[in-house]
Amino acid sequence: MRRISLLLLCLVPWAAPLPGATLERLSLDELAQKSTLILRAKVLGSYTDFRGSVIYTHWKLQVEERLKGADQAAVEVLIPGGSAGRFHQDVPGAPKLIAGNDYLLFLWTAKSGSTYVTGLSQGVFELSTNGGDSIASRAACSETMLDRSTWLPVSDESIQIPYTEVTARISAALGAASAQGGGR
């Protein structure tokens, strides 16, 4: 009996589901309202370090336009995951930025003063130019997402929207939140 118990104890971790991220699906309005900072920014570079047992990549950003939050010329954003020394961590749902690229970023600042992406990959829109018009786009998140009202799993969808339209929607969402007393 003791051997069977030991065998079961050894097998339980193998039978348990593998770790992953479960994200609450956020609409564009919810991203705008939950964020303390919304920026159009260029990625200048990055470095990594450990915070406890988690590796964070610190991304240095040059602010090109501020849509919400304090006026700053530069911001540092922490994204979980990356390589530090001989260690590497992948964090499900964490966005990947590329130095030199322009992004529309939905960010929140913790009490510690560190700034993070709202909704992980949901809060990062890559900016590109199409015939003179800027386009904000993001791929569908492959991680499990839950609908806020039902808490049932839902599929995410990729988004591609003209930059002028996304900024108008952000302004409208922030105006509606302020009118209801929920603005930051």
- Kindly state whether residue 126 falls inside one of the protein's structural domains: yes
Q: What pLDDT is recorded for position 180?
A: 73
- Kindly state whether residue 7 falls inside one of the protein's structural domains: no
Each residue's pLDDT tens digit, 5-45: 444 444 434 333 334 557 788 999 999 999 999 999 999 99
- DSSP category for residue 120: G
Instruction: Tell me the Cα Rg of the chain.
Output: 19
Each residue's pLDDT tens digit, 121-168: 999 999 999 888 899 999 998 888 888 888 888 888 999 999 999 999
Domain count of the chain?
Answer: 1
- Kindly state whether residue 116 falls inside one of the protein's structural domains: yes
- Kindly state whether residue 84 falls inside one of the protein's structural domains: yes
- Kindly state whether residue 127 falls inside one of the protein's structural domains: yes
Q: What pLDDT is recorded for position 150?
A: 87
- Kindly state whether residue 4 falls inside one of the protein's structural domains: no
> 111: domain CATH number?
2.40.50.120
> 97 lies in which domain range?
19-179
- Kindly state whether residue 92 falls inside one of the protein's structural domains: yes
Give the pTM. 0.83
Q: Which residues contact 174 (CB under 8 A, 6 or more apart)?
A: 32, 33, 68, 183
